[in-house]
Homo-oligomer: A and B are copies of this chain.
């Protein structure tokens, strides 16, 4: 059985301008692979309502689960929640449950829950809140889309909350063989191996070190015995 498919939508001008290097995609990719969920596609869009709405609709239609990061803070460029409501035809306003969370948090700190901070309680009517143990302002799940913060510490905490609720497939087993030969020498035997093991995924990642060419060959699949057998065949074809 094929593993469930997932997609990610990264929202933010700061990534596309090169100001910030995104860290959440790489983190989520690793977590999903461990959970047996296939990350099939990632899109990065700017803080532009039309781009966000059209991307999240496309990804929500094409994949079982979608994760978004970014754009749920208190400033004018935090427009993700409103875009999600628009994308899925839902109403949005300050929600009492989210407001209560923020009120308790800021009361304890002696900080005013002003209009800007209250923006973080704007949650679509049909959404379920995602707990934020780091800085309280919640994420939310609407339809099959989990809407999370862009700040990596908060993003990671929200992923930890959401992941156990998803039904993953079999975790992917991955084995690597380092071959100290040019990729052009490896490609022939590797291609034959790929045909003999259509259920496995074979990747070749070339490197150059101290002037020598080589490649890390990664074989992935859900059946550990098959992965081991394929790695052994490959090792035999390239004796050290």
Q: Find A190's partner among B40, B76, B115 (CB 8 Å cutoff).
A: B76
Q: Find A40's partner among B25, B31, B46 (CB 8 Å cutoff).
A: B46
Q: Is A114 an interface residue (CB 8 A)?
A: yes
Q: Is A183 an interface residue (CB 8 A)?
A: yes
For A195, the closest partner residue in chain B by CB is: B76
User: What separation, in Å, do the CA atoms of A229 and B160 have in the docked complex?
Assistant: 43
Q: Report the minimum CB–CB distance from A71 to chain B (whole Å).
A: 11
The 0/1 profile, CB within 8 Å of B marked 1, for residues 201-237 of chain A is 1111110000000000010100000000000000000
For residue A41, which residues in chain B have a CB less than 8 angstroms away from its CB? 16, 43-46, 51
Q: Is A99 an interface residue (CB 8 A)?
A: no
For A186, the closest partner residue in chain B by CB is: B75
Q: Is A19 an interface residue (CB 8 A)?
A: yes
- A interface, size bucket: 35 or more
Known: A17-B220, A18-B29, A114-B188. 17 other contacts (CB 8 A): A10-B42, A14-B218, A16-B40, A18-B26, A18-B28, A18-B39, A19-B205, A20-B205, A22-B25, A25-B44, A43-B43, A47-B203, A75-B183, A76-B191, A116-B183, A116-B185, A117-B184
* Chain A residues in the interface with B (C-beta under 8 A): 10, 13-22, 25-33, 38-48, 51, 73-77, 111, 114-117, 119, 151, 172, 174, 182-188, 190-191, 194, 201-206, 218, 220
